[in-house]
Chain A
Amino acid sequence: AQSVTQPDIHITVSEGASLELRCNYSYGATPYLFWYVQSPGQGLQLLLKYFSGDTLVQGIKGFEAEFKRSQSSFNLRKPSVHWSDAAEYFCAVGDTGTASKLTFGTGTRLQVTL
């Protein structure tokens, strides 16, 4: 069965600093990978997705993620964090069925200090 691990429950960075959120997945085939962001009391917004091709994926809000098959990782990065980036971030892996089911990690809560 597929699974996703986000080893960092909570991360604090200073505004303007760089950010990397870790995600490791377990999946038998080529994975479909996603990053979502959730603001308090809101739904999830898709940041970016990886299906195939270029392993460095660009997303919205200045985020990018790199797929590394050898490490089973899909880490999310941003060069310079803004206070508005404070939120919870979820990594997810999708299966190959047409039901498009996703398995989510437990999330990483990002706090940004001014």
Chain B
Amino acid sequence: SQTIHQWPATLVQPVGSPLSLECTVEGTSNPNLYWYRQAAGRGLQLLFYSVGIGQISSEVPQNLSASRPQDRQFILSSKKLLLSDSGFYLCAWARAGAASQPQHFGDGTRLSIL
């Protein structure tokens, strides 16, 4: 069966510090991968998605970037965090190659910026 892992579960960072959140998927090949941010009362906002190694699509302009160095690894980064980057970050995967496959989510990372 497929599993998705996100770490760390919680993170407290000072403003201006760098960020690296990692997500890995097991039990499937060439998945579509997604990063979301969830703010209270605002649902999930898609930040980035990837349909293959090195292929990153950004949905909204922001202070963050994403990379996919390996088939089942998806990394969310920032060079300098802003207060507005606080939130709950979720990684998800879906089977590739067919329209609207359901997405499967990790347990998330709670990021607090001080």
| Cβ contact within 8 Å between A102 and B32 | no
Count B-side interface residues using an 8 Å CB cutoff.
29
Q: Which of B34, B101, B107 contacts A42 (CB 8 A)?
A: B107
In this assembly, does B41 line the interface, its C-beta being within 8 Å of a C-beta of chain A?
yes
CB neighbours (8 Å) of A41 from chain B are 108, 110
A47 to B44, CA, bound (A): 17
Give the interface centre of A96, A99, A104, A107 by most chain B CB atoms within 10 Å: A99
| Cβ contact within 8 Å between A43 and B108 | yes
A6 to B112, CA, bound (A): 28
- How many Å from the CB of A83 to the closest CB on chain B? 22
| Cβ contact within 8 Å between A98 and B43 | no
| Cβ contact within 8 Å between B108 and A97 | no
- If A90-B44, A98-B97, A107-B43 touch, whether A49 touches B102 (CB-CB below 8 Å) is yes
**14 A-B residue pairs with CB within 8 Å:** A43-B6, A43-B106, A43-B107, A44-B90, A46-B103, A49-B102, A96-B99, A96-B100, A98-B98, A99-B49, A99-B57, A100-B94, A105-B43, A106-B41
- If A101-B49, A104-B44 touch, whether A42 touches B108 (CB-CB below 8 Å) is yes
